[in-house]
Amino acid sequence: MTDGFTPVYASSDGLPVRLEAAARRAADGSAYTHHRLVVSDGRAGAVIVARDADRLLLVLSAREAAGAELWELPRGAGEAGETAVETALRELREETGLRGRDPQVLGTYVTDSSIFPQEVAVVECRIDQDAPATVPDGEVSDRRWLPLAELAHAVQDGTIRDAHTLAAIAVLSSRGEL
């Protein structure tokens, strides 16, 4: 199937976002317009599973689209020329001031295969206790370490409800890490 998508809307104010549309046919032959959202020019993103012994690092981020602050794993979009690991370590440092070490890609997922086809890598790292912390960029309002033993409860009670964080937890769980 050819791509056939054309831009409908684009904004480069902040994170580049583009809405694209393409004519498509459903299985029954009816015609429809399919839309997709392209963020950061389609570059992959990363979710960071930062660990300290038996704890995971969570950050509190204002999510205007959801109208709430959400506890989530640090994450972000890739910059031009970055690998998933480079994106993860940069985002961790920018959001928390902490430096990661021994990064490892645990897996990937697609944000929303229907309209938001961005690939996201789940990168695990340890916190480098010897590296001096830097000043975070102000993107997150708080951070906390969550014991792994409390992770399931935090998902069940809605403390963790961010889709990227839930997907990363699923990847981590599939590896027998939880």
Q: Sketch out the chain's domains with CATH numbers.
A: 6-41 (no CATH), 43-174 (3.90.79.10)
Say if residues 92 and 141 touch (Cβ distance below 8 Å). Answer: no
Please tell me the predicted confidence (pLDDT) of residue 42.
67
Any idea of the CA torsion for 154, 159, 163, 169, to the nearest 10 degrees? -20
Enumerate the β-bridge partners of residue 24: 32
Distance CA(28)–CA(19), nearest Å, equals 26
Average pLDDT along the chain = 90
Distance CA(128)–CA(106), nearest Å, equals 19
Amino acid making up residue 163: A
The answer on pLDDT for 83 being more than 60 is yes
The answer to whether the predicted template modeling score (pTM) of the entire model surpasses 0.85 is no
**∠ Cα 32 115 72 (to 5°):** 160
